[in-house]
Structure 1
Amino acid sequence: MIDKDGMEPWEICGMCHSLDGISPMAKFPKLAGQRAAYIEKQFRDIHEGRRTNDGGQMQAIVTEVDPDDLPSIASYFAALPAPPPTAPGEDTTSHAEDLFNEGGDDTPACLTCHGSTSSDVPLAPWLEAQHEEYLEKQLTEFKQGDRTNDLDGVMRSIAARLSEKEIADLASYIAAQPRPERSP
């Protein structure tokens, strides 16, 4: 049990995700500048058992948060400045850039839902400047069917068509991209 006396609701989340929303630990996603609707969806999915791919860590934490505080928590992190990109990996290829921006033979471009002009897809997260390891883990778990809280199975379908190398290259490429200024 967390002693929450005197804490703002987002401070509980900040213990892992950092109060600036830029967790130094790759297993905890960076929440700074993320879409508020996406943060709320993930919290609710974890709370209601629709997202279980983190070994139960978040399931234990979400019970400590009052669901009525969720909008203020999501708004707090969404309003923070976006995280800086990481240094690109040595093996990042132009193929990963093409997949992200233009798509592949049988995969749509990541930017279709996750890009700067995708304001009509509020439940798709911004990806740029996220932890490389976190991105790779999520794509791999979508591919393997271990993460299932994507809308209509879209991410599972797309990730299933990516090779392990494409997933690793995409994660490295995306983490190294600056996140454009966007409205949360």
Structure 2
Amino acid sequence: MDRNSSIYIGFMVGLFCINAELQAGMIDKDGMEPWEVCGMCHSLDGVSKMPKFPKLAGQKAAYLTLQLADFRHERRTNDNGQMASIVTEINPLDIESIVGYFSGLPRPAPESIIEEGVEKAGHQTGKLLFEEGRPGVDACSSCHNLVHPTAPFLQAQHADYIRKQLNDFKQGHRVGSRAAVMTGIAGLLSGDEIDAVADYLQSSGR
């Protein structure tokens, strides 16, 4: 596929997703599996092409279920209501199969943040914050690990997505089930630290 074709496809996917709250009820879903509508933005392999939409491949089932419930009941609205609108189009009986599909996919591979052979300056800072924390801030990995059921797995996630979520927590724009802990933690992080954690996670391994 040439570059122009890739740009065109990316544009069309983005156009659909940005206007999804208007189009959700207009999609002909006959013959589609429940997760295929989700795949229009998050990709059928769960590795979304646009940072606006998180990668869902291999994400914890309990976390996905909790977030879908928060969107459905409008406890989480920091995406300008887009997901709240889309979730209303999902049959509650299909939630389990959607969650099972995406959580069962292979986790995404990390994306390098090496630029011209030089790591971004904040990479080590991000690694230390995630793995060890700093005085007054617990290590991110104390919750964001393979054991904690409702703290999402963050490795290889889009840096821009993580950056937005941390800033939304910091500014009080992201609320919902169990959001209070993250609001407190994000409030202690500087803008540079948020950037460092986001960039580190995008490039960290599975």
Residues 1:47 and 2:72 are matched in the alignment: yes
Residue 96 of structure 1: which of 114, 121, 126 is its match?
126
Q: Which residue of 2 aligns with 1:26?
A: 51
Structure 2 portions without partners, runs of 5+:
1-24, 115-119
CA deviation after TM superposition for structure 1 residue 33, in Å: 0.3
CA contact (8 A) 1:150 1:156 kept: no
Per the normalisation by structure 1, the TM-score is 0.92
Q: Which residue of 1 aligns with 2:7?
A: none
Q: Which residue of 2 aligns with 1:5?
A: 30
Percent identity, aligned pairs only, is 52
Q: Which residue of 2 aligns with 1:182?
A: none
Structure 1 portions without partners, runs of 5+:
180-184
Residue 143 of structure 2 aligns to a residue whose secondary structure is helix
Coordinate RMSD, CA, aligned: 1.1
- The structure carrying a bigger helix percent of its residues is 2
* Distance (whole Å) between structure 1 residues aligned to residue 156 and residue 46 of structure 2: 12
CA contact (8 A) 2:58 2:103 kept: yes
Query: Whose Rg is larger?
Result: 2
CA contact (8 A) 2:123 2:199 kept: no
Residue 114 of structure 1 aligns to a residue whose secondary structure is coil
Q: Which residue of 2 aligns with 1:74?
A: 99
Q: Which residue of 2 aligns with 1:61?
A: 86
CA deviation after TM superposition for structure 1 residue 92, in Å: 2.6
Per the normalisation by structure 2, the TM-score is 0.83
Q: Which residue of 1 aligns with 2:184?
A: 157
Residue 111 of structure 2 aligns to a residue whose secondary structure is coil
Residues 1:108 and 2:138 are matched in the alignment: yes
CA deviation after TM superposition for structure 1 residue 150, in Å: 4.7
Higher relative contact order (CA 8 A, sep 6+): 1
Give structure 1 regions of 4+ aligned residues with deviation exceeding 3 angstroms. none
* Distance (whole Å) between structure 2 residues aligned to residue 162 and residue 150 of structure 1: 21
